[in-house]
Chain A
Amino acid sequence: MADDLKIVGLLCNWCCYGGADTAGTARMQYSPNIRIIRVMCSGRINPSMIFKAFQDGADGVFVGGCHIGDCHYDAGNYKWSRRSKIVEDILEEFGIEKERFRHEWISASEGEKFQKTMEEFHNTLTKLGPLEL
């Protein structure tokens, strides 16, 4: 499974990070390419963080947040969901495939969904190959 693809994962503290934890404690297998950065809320993620990740060599960026309605801070994930659209629009202008950027709502109990998402994302990126800016 080891390859050089780098995935940067920005995971919300309350849900998706917990989901990753659940996947880990349950010893679910998924590709080890993801580098997880824990953030307090998906609503605190700026588009520039995604761009910085791509600039510094990430082949894909994953953002995980709470399900809509479950945000620990009430509406952070709504903000992120709108911001993500702008990120998609801008990435398109820079010739970065929109498949390299993915976001998903994963709760702390959904370890399996986290595992599945990581596998899928890794497969997509394998098909696309390394990102050349």
Chain B
Amino acid sequence: MSYVLAKSQNDDIHKAGECGGAVTSILKYLLDEEIVDGVLALSPQNDVYDATPTFITESDDLLSAAGSYHCAPTMIGDLVQKYLFDKKVAITVKPCDMRAVEELIIRHKINRDNIYLIGLNCGGTVSPVSGRKMIDLFYEADPDDVVSEEIDKGKFIIELADGSEEAVKIHDLEEEGYGRRNNCQRCDVKIPRKANIACGNWGAEDGWTFIEINDEKGQELIDGAKKAGILETKNPAQGAIDGREKVEGIMIKMAKKVQDATYPTVSEMDEWSRCISCYACRDVCPICWCFENCELNKPYFKDEQNIPPTPIAFQGVRLSHMSFSCVDCGQCDDVCPMDIPVSLIFDKLQKKYFNRTGYVAGVSDDIKPPLYSPEKTEL
């Protein structure tokens, strides 16, 4: 593991990127050298609230995907599994994406040799709807005028078309019920250390990207991009490394506080009683991969007359299948038509599992979660 500061040698990319354009440069290097068939990254459609995962195969199209999109929380892990299994892809991953990819690799649904994971440090994402509302309420700006946004030093910063910037403390936003999504507020994995490299602005100087190189493949990436003349690097000062560590530490501490406050308050049985059996949480879950063969569809569990379903036979079965691997991406909260805090309950169970086994979904090095390993140990 080592650290570098990097910035793009390409002026267009340097300008378009959030901090130095290192990520876009590395992606461009991978595409130009034909190391990968394509890049899976978020790309904005109509506005900054509407970024969708896009499979980019031409390096000229990369520029449109540069920048950060906190208001477009999408899960990329399951897309690779479903549509890009046989392709060589570079994927930009926030920590929960990385964890989902890791969990899917364990399940043999993604081939590690086929993918490059370009990690992005993540302090949290904002749902597009509440993001718009929040900008409307707390900023003196029209949500439609926002051309870019970023999160830095505990503030949510928006940039308008005329170049002016506005910042509001995330803490203040969250006190009013806006700000980051609930699952992001309690997420304690902020740096994707299982990705080949983890990039971000924490600890970085202006115009540079701070990169943590996590493995050999990551080192090759950086060396290759440097050789191709698209990336410039230098060693970060000790102060920068400490600064980054401090930011991460504060974020994790805040997350733990939220965890302690929210886990005990959820009353599962009341929440489940609203369930309408739409299966949306299962369908969107990146870890639930056996759609046609899902046990919930088997005649012995299928119970369409009964709404809400018997919790133990619906949510209970799902919990037993994958709660220990829950990566807390919050997609299930987003899709639930009845606003059940699904991810909170699943994440709570994963934490319980962690307390028993020390296994953190998508982060621990175990080849298999303890539940499935052939090892001769008891808990």
Contacts and interface: CB of A to CB of B under 8 A. Distances in A.
Interface in A30-72: 46-48, 51-52, 54-55, 68
Contact of B300 (A47, A52, A89): A52
Contacts of A68: 378
Interface in A72-115: 75, 78-79, 81-83, 85-87, 89-91, 93-96
Contact of B323 (A52, A83, A90): A90
A133 interface: yes
Interface range on chain A (Cβ under 8 Å from partner): 20 to 34
A47 B317 CA distance: 7
B376 interface: yes
Interface in B338-379: 345, 349, 352-353, 356, 370-372, 374-379
Given A83-B371, A95-B269, A51 B378 contact: no
Contact of A94 (B295, B312, B323, B379): B312
B301 interface: yes
Contacts of A86: 320, 323-324, 353, 371
A68 B311 CA distance: 33
Contacts, number: 73
A95 to B, nearest CB: 6
Contacts of B370: 82
B312 A82 contact: no
Given A86-B353, A89-B349, A93-B345, A55 B310 contact: yes
Interface in B31-88: none
Contacts of A90: 316, 319-320, 323, 349
Consensus secondary structure, chain A interface: helix
A97 to B, nearest CB: 13
B379 A82 contact: yes
Contact of B378 (A81, A87, A89): A81
Interface in B258-314: 268-269, 295, 300-301, 310-313
A111 to B, nearest CB: 25
B241 to A, nearest CB: 38
Interface residues of B, number: 30
B375 A94 contact: no
Contacts of A46: 320
B313 A78 contact: no
Contacts of A83: 371
Contacts of A133: 310-312
B372 to A, nearest CB: 8
B316 A78 contact: no
B305 to A, nearest CB: 14
B377 A48 contact: no
Contacts of A96: 312
Given A82-B379, A86-B371, A94 B301 contact: no
Most chain A C-beta atoms within 10 Å of own C-beta, residue among B311, B312, B353, B371: B312
B311 A94 contact: yes
B312 A89 contact: no
Given A83-B371, A89-B352, A94-B268, A78 B320 contact: no
Interface in B161-202: none
Contacts of A89: 349, 352-353, 356
25 contacts: A47-B316, A47-B317, A48-B316, A48-B320, A51-B313, A51-B316, A54-B312, A75-B376, A78-B376, A78-B378, A81-B378, A81-B379, A82-B371, A82-B377, A83-B371, A85-B356, A85-B379, A87-B320, A89-B349, A89-B353, A91-B312, A94-B268, A94-B269, A94-B316, A133-B310
Interface of B: 268-269, 295, 300-301, 310-313, 316-317, 319-321, 323-324, 345, 349, 352-353, 356, 370-372, 374-379
Interface of A: 46-48, 51-52, 54-55, 68, 75, 78-79, 81-83, 85-87, 89-91, 93-96, 133
Given A51-B312, A79-B374, 16 more contacts: A48-B295, A51-B313, A51-B316, A51-B317, A55-B310, A78-B377, A82-B379, A86-B324, A89-B353, A89-B356, A90-B316, A93-B319, A94-B311, A94-B316, A95-B269, A133-B312
